[in-house]
Amino acid sequence: REIAYFEETDSTNTQAKKLGDAGAPHGTLAVADKQCAGKGRRGRGWDSPSGSGIFMSILLRPDMEPSKAPMLTLVMAVSVAQAVCETEGVDTLIKWPNDIVVNGKKVCGILTEMSTEVDFINHVVIGVGINVNTGAFPEEIAQKATSLRLEMGHPVKRSPLIASVMHFFEVNYEQFQKVGNLSFLQETYNRMLVNRDRDVRILAPGNEYNAHAIGINEQGELLVRRGDGRTEAVYSGEVSVR
Ligand code: BTN
C-alpha cells in the first residue's frame, strides 16, 4: 500500500483528495502527526496537535453507485471499534452513524468526502481522527470527548492501532464490495450501537421528534419506532460531496 506520511499538514482528507485527483491508487493512505486545519463534520474543525492522536485518511476507488458511499463510513466505524477493542481491550461502542465511544465519550470521529463524475464515483476519502494520547480537552467538550490514554490510564502506541484499523477495514471492505450492502455487518454494528433500545431525538431537516432506536438496517439507516408505533428509517447522509 502507498503511504503518504506528513509530519505536519493542513488536513489528511485534503491531501488524500489531492493524491486521488492526481491518480493515486485505491488504498493509498495519508497519515499526519499534526494537522493545522483538521476538518470535522458539519463544517467544524478537528483539533489535531502533534502526538495527540491518529489523523489519517484512506483513498478508495470503489466500484459502486454514489448513493452507497454513506455505508462506507459505517464500515469504517465498525473497523475502528473492532481495532480499538482488540488492541486496547476496552469496550468500544458506536454512536450512530459513526462516532466511536468509550465509557460514554467520543474517542473517534470519521469524515467521508466523495468526488463524483455525473453518476459514478471518482474517489472517496474516509478520514479517521482518533483521540489517542490527548491529555485534556477544552472545557466545552470535556463532557463529551475523551482519549484512549485518559480512559486506559497510560499512553497508547499509535502505529499498531493504525495497522489494526487497516486490517479490519480491509476485511470488512472486501465483504461490503461483494455484498453491496451492510447485511453482513448489521449484527456486529447493532451489538456495538450505544443508542440501541434507547430513546433518541431525531434531528431531521425541518422535522424533529423523539423516537426509540431499534438498530440499523441493511442500508445503514437507523430504524426507529415512533410514538404512534410506526417504524421509520432515518437516512444517515453523513457524506459531503465536493
Ligand atoms: C467528526 O466531526 O466527528 C469527524 C472528524 C474527522 C477528523 C479526521 S482527522 C483525519 C482526517 N482529516 C481531517 O481533516 N479530518 C479527518
Query: What CA–CA distance (Å, rounded) separates 16 from 135?
Result: 28
Do 44 and 24 share a domain, yes or no?
yes
User: How far is ligand 1, taken at its centre, from the CA of residue 12, in Å?
Assistant: 8
- The dihedral built from the CA positions of residue 103, 132, 160 and 72, taken in this order, carries a sign that is positive
Question: What pLDDT was estimated at residue 238?
Answer: 47
User: How far is ligand 1, taken at its centre, from the CA of residue 160, in Å?
Assistant: 20
Number of the ligand 1 atom closest to the C-alpha atom of 13: 12
Do 67 and 119 share a domain, yes or no?
yes
Q: Residues lining ligand 1, judged by CB closer than 6 Å?
A: 11-13, 35, 38-41, 44, 46, 55-57, 109-111, 127-129
Question: What pLDDT was estimated at residue 236?
Answer: 59
- Return the residue whose CA atom lies nearest to atom 11 of ligand 1: 127
User: How far is ligand 1, taken at its centre, from the CA of residue 11, in Å?
Assistant: 8
Do 179 and 231 share a domain, yes or no?
no
- Return the residue whose CA atom lies nearest to atom 3 of ligand 1: 109
Domain range for 219: 199-241
Do 42 and 63 share a domain, yes or no?
yes
Query: Per residue in 32-41, pLDDT tens?
Result: 999 999 999 9
Do 35 and 92 share a domain, yes or no?
yes
User: How far is ligand 1, taken at its centre, from the CA of residue 53, in Å?
Assistant: 11
User: How far is ligand 1, taken at its centre, from the CA of residue 54, in Å?
Assistant: 10
Do 70 and 144 share a domain, yes or no?
yes
**Contacts of the segment 179-188: beta carbons below 8 A, 24+ positions apart:** 180/64, 180/68, 181/68, 181/71, 181/218, 181/219, 182/71, 182/74, 182/75, 182/216, 182/217, 182/218, 182/219, 182/220, 183/218, 185/74, 185/75, 185/78, 186/215, 186/216, 186/217, 186/218, 188/78, 188/82
Task: Give the count of domains, the chain.
Answer: 2
Do 118 and 207 share a domain, yes or no?
no
Do 47 and 73 share a domain, yes or no?
yes
List of the chain residues with pLDDT < 50: 237-242
> Does the model's ipTM exceed the 0.95 cut?
yes
Do 187 and 217 share a domain, yes or no?
no
Do 188 and 206 share a domain, yes or no?
no
CATH number of the domain within which 124 lies: 3.30.930.10
Number of the ligand 1 atom closest to the C-alpha atom of 10: 14
> Pocket of ligand 1, candidates 55, 96, 131: which has the most ligand atoms within 8 Å of its Cβ, to mutate?
55
Do 56 and 159 share a domain, yes or no?
yes
Do 71 and 164 share a domain, yes or no?
yes
Query: Per residue in 58-114, pLDDT tens?
Result: 999 999 999 999 999 999 999 999 999 999 999 999 998 889 999 999 999 999 999
Question: What pLDDT was estimated at residue 239?
Answer: 41
